[in-house]
């Protein structure tokens, strides 16, 4: 990034908090913006059919990883929480309306251009119908047993690990509590273990 996204001034590299960072220097007419890096936040949903011991998986119809199977999910918008995003993404991709049961996993990876995080929630189906046709995002969606998951060649490694853990009752879920906001900010959702 060479120019400030807020005021358009040229950014100058300064050592800030021990690292070289592009900075819009106020002493040179800038607004004070500091580029702390680029981040993306994604979510995935574990949705189970308990009566058949099966997990919901989708086959991607877009890059990256077109043709691969994964948990349903996507990216968090700037104006939503991760738990709201996973409910929205699962409904958009599969047609199922779900509610969050708890936090099941977290993955973080500092790639060369962007630091990516992925938050995985356990969800419970509340309604809706599973989409049967191919869409712009999804080739197909369905519920798969442990035996089927273990033989899926194009199942992403992260989704395989989570699916097997869910289907063998090895998930440890963090549950949500609401914590009041500070200084007039709205309350926040905190996911915590229950002490077991």
Percent of the chain with pLDDT over 70: 99
Residue 145: name the closest of 57, 61, 44, 43 by CA: 57
Please indicate, yes or no, whether residues 50 and 32 belong to a single structural domain of this protein.
no
Q: Tens of pLDDT along 80-94?
A: 999 999 999 999 999
| CA dist., res. 73 & res. 160, Å (int) | 15
191 CB neighbour count, 10 Å cutoff: 18
Domain assignment of residue 184, yes or no: no
Please indicate, yes or no, whether residues 153 and 75 belong to a single structural domain of this protein.
yes
| CA dist., res. 127 & res. 136, Å (int) | 23
Domain assignment of residue 19, yes or no: yes
pLDDT(185) > 80: yes
Give residue 90's pLDDT. Answer: 98
Domain assignment of residue 194, yes or no: no
Report, as an integer, the average pLDDT of 40-63. Answer: 95
pLDDT(104) > 90: yes
At residue 82, φ and ψ (nearest 5 deg) are -65, -40
CATH number where 115 lies: 3.90.79.10
Please indicate, yes or no, whether residues 86 and 107 belong to a single structural domain of this protein.
yes
Domain assignment of residue 17, yes or no: yes
Please indicate, yes or no, whether residues 24 and 53 belong to a single structural domain of this protein.
no
Give residue 195's pLDDT. Answer: 62
The DSSP H or E segment spanning 150 is helix 146-151
Please indicate, yes or no, whether residues 83 and 72 belong to a single structural domain of this protein.
yes
Please indicate, yes or no, whether residues 48 and 72 belong to a single structural domain of this protein.
yes
Please indicate, yes or no, whether residues 33 and 123 belong to a single structural domain of this protein.
no
| CA dist., res. 41 & res. 44, Å (int) | 11
Give residue 196's pLDDT. Answer: 55
Domain assignment of residue 161, yes or no: yes
Domain assignment of residue 181, yes or no: no
Give residue 191's pLDDT. Answer: 94
Domain assignment of residue 90, yes or no: yes
Please indicate, yes or no, whether residues 28 and 103 belong to a single structural domain of this protein.
no
Q: Tens of pLDDT along 114-139?
A: 999 999 999 999 999 999 999 999 99
Domain that holds residue 104: 39-171
Contacts of residue 133, defined as CB under 8 A and 6 or more positions apart, other chains included, come to: none
| CA dist., res. 56 & res. 47, Å (int) | 5
Please indicate, yes or no, whether residues 116 and 65 belong to a single structural domain of this protein.
yes
pLDDT(147) > 60: yes
51 secondary structure, DSSP code: T
Mean pLDDT rounded to a whole number for the chain: 94
Give residue 194's pLDDT. Answer: 76
**Signed CA dihedral, 121, 125, 128, 130: sign only:** positive
Please indicate, yes or no, whether residues 60 and 83 belong to a single structural domain of this protein.
yes
Please indicate, yes or no, whether residues 109 and 164 belong to a single structural domain of this protein.
yes
- Say how many domains are in the chain: 2
Q: E-strand spans in 39-174?
A: 39-49, 54-60, 69-70, 73-75, 96-110, 115-128, 138-145
Domain assignment of residue 192, yes or no: no
SS (H, E, C) 95-130: CEEEEEEEEEEEEEEECCCCEEEEEEEEEEEEEECC
Please indicate, yes or no, whether residues 29 and 109 belong to a single structural domain of this protein.
no
């Amino acid at each position: 990034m060479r120019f400030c996204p807020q005021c358009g001034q040229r950014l100058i590299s300064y050592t800030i908090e021990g690292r070289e960072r592009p900075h819009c220097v106020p002493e040179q007419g800038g607004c004070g913006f500091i580029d702390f890096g680029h981040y993306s936040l994604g979510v995935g949903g574990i949705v189970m059919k308990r009566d058949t011991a099966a997990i919901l998986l989708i086959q991607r119809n877009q890059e990256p990883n077109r043709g691969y199977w994964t948990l349903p999910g996507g990216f968090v918008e700037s104006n939503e929480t991760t738990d709201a995003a996973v409910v929205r993404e699962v409904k958009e991709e599969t047609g199922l309306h779900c509610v969050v049961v708890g936090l099941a996993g977290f993955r973080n990876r500092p790639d060369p251009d962007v630091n990516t995080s992925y938050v995985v929630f356990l969800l419970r189906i509340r309604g809706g119908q599973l989409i049967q046709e191919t869409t712009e995002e999804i080739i197909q969606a369905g519920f798969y047993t442990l035996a089927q998951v273990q033989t899926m060649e194009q199942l992403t490694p992260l989704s395989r690990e989570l699916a097997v853990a869910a289907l063998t009752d090895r998930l440890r879920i963090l549950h949500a509590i609401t914590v009041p906001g500070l200084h007039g900010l709205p309350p926040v959702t905190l996911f915590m273990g229950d002490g077991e």
